[in-house]
Amino acid sequence: MGTRSSWKSGKMNFWDNQINTTFKTGVWADCPLLAIALDPTVGYVFFEDFMNWKGAAIETTNMAGWTVTQGDSSGAVSISDTAQGGVLLIDSADTDTGDGVNLQYTEGTLPFIPVAGQDIWFECRLAVDEFDDCEFFAGLSAVDTTIITGSDMTSANHIGFECLTDDGVLLFGAEKAGTEATPVASNTLAEDTYVRLGFKVNGVTDVTHYVNGVAIATSILTANIPIVGLTPSFVCQSGGTQDPIVHLDWVKCVQVRA
């Protein structure tokens, strides 16, 4: 390991240049993580690595603050018995179109609301089995048990990565009160290969998305940035041929206070 310090936009952080070579250009480069750790009045952090989850499959219930909702009549979540550090398996559990899981953190109030001057940072690490037959979402959404319905995004307020074409080609999009931005190209998944998907919400001005710590585009503008409570949300549903499974290693989201 090789710990380094970095300074960007008035924010100082520490990072490891052997483990994460893209930190200085990635989603967390200008997030005040060090300041928040020392002074909680600066901001707040949501982090889940699934170390405290039980191993049994859960289908339609709350689990450690998360709400699990089946798409159609199938789908479950469980913890991997072999992966290190806690990995959640989001399993469509069937091959019918739309079968799968809608997963949202819903404990207490919704933690993140885009506001001018209060930036939000989000990143998760995941891999997908049967990536080319998966209806997929990873990001922030208002509470909605049917984020993807009929192979279409139906959450009226969301920001994140999506695939509705059953081919593993991810797009990045957002929607504010039903006004949706045209999703832009992001990246293509690979079979059972981990990838980090992240974005920064710059107040209510714009959103930049990142893949494996590399900025892809600044594409979402004010008209499409939701201004309601949002929460970490994931969808894994079958495209109608295979039984896809999302392996979710961790998810982190941070917002600065006023």
pLDDT at residue 18 tops 70 = yes
- Res. 57: pLDDT tops 60: no
Report d(CA 97, CA 134) in Å as an integer: 9
pLDDT of amino acid 193: 97
Residue 140: which H helix or E strand, with range? strand 134-141
Closest CA to 197 of 258, 91, 124: 124
- pTM value is 0.94
Dihedral over Cα of 229, 195, 91, 81: its sign: negative
DSSP-assigned letter for residue 39 = -
Report how far residue 168's alpha carbon sits from residue 64's, in angstroms, rounded to the nearest whole number: 29
Higher pLDDT, 24 or 242: 242
The rounded percent of the chain whose pLDDT value lies above 90 is 71
Bridge-partner residues for 191, per DSSP?
128
- Considering the chain, what is the average pLDDT of its residues? 90
Q: Per the structure block, which two tokens stand in for 163?
A: 């695939």
Work out the average pLDDT over 213-237: 95
61 vs 250, higher pLDDT: 250
CATH number of 43-256: 2.60.120.200
pLDDT (0 to 100) of residue 147: 96
Provide the token pair at 91.
């399993």
To which H or E segment does residue 37 belong?
A: helix 33-38
